[in-house]
Amino acid sequence: MKDFFKRVIRAMKLDPTLYEEVETDQGATAQALGVVLLSGLAAGIGSSGRGLAGGLIVLTIASVLAWVAWAWITYVVGTKVLPGSRTEADVGQLLRTVGFSSAPGVIQILGVIPVLAEVVFFVAWVWMLVAMVTAVRQALDYESTARAVGVCFIGWGLQMVLLGAVLPAWSPPPAG
């Protein structure tokens, strides 16, 4: 457990060697899921400060779905559409690295403080995006950060479309 939390902190510090480490550690897939769940729970708890009742379950489920979708999309885009000269990866490697890139999302729990909520969520999202770029660059063995940014941008857009189609089915009907 101690190693898990050390890895989470290293992921939050954007340590490229952490992303290389979890990329090759097949046993880290469960840890990556743990990071995603922590981030999703933090977002759910933090969203209560924004008046979003029921956010805990919805945001936790959304976090897991987004993780799987983004890892798979990143795999396809990064290895088939925009591979680098040294790119060699599998979906498991992307699941692990992308999962750990959600580590900065744990700060979203501070959203329970209403005056901080908007700033905390914005900082968390930007930080997670930077972590994602770091994770993608390492997992796909890119020599260019710009290529990793491109893959993340494409992946984010496709993920939003995919989740936009899936999540409304899970939303409660409007009150009234």
For the whole prediction, is pTM greater than 0.85? yes
Mean pLDDT of the chain: 89
Query: Are 69 and 159 spatial neighbours (Cβ–Cβ below 8 Å)?
Result: yes
Give percent of the chain above pLDDT 90: 70
CA atoms 105, 107, 109, 114: torsion sign: negative
Q: What is the pLDDT of residue 173?
A: 53
**pLDDT tens digits for 98-136?**
999 999 999 999 999 989 989 999 999 999 999 999 999
For residue 59, pLDDT beyond 80: no
Average pLDDT rounded to a whole number, residues 28-57: 84
Q: Which two tokens stand for residue 164?
A: 């936009």
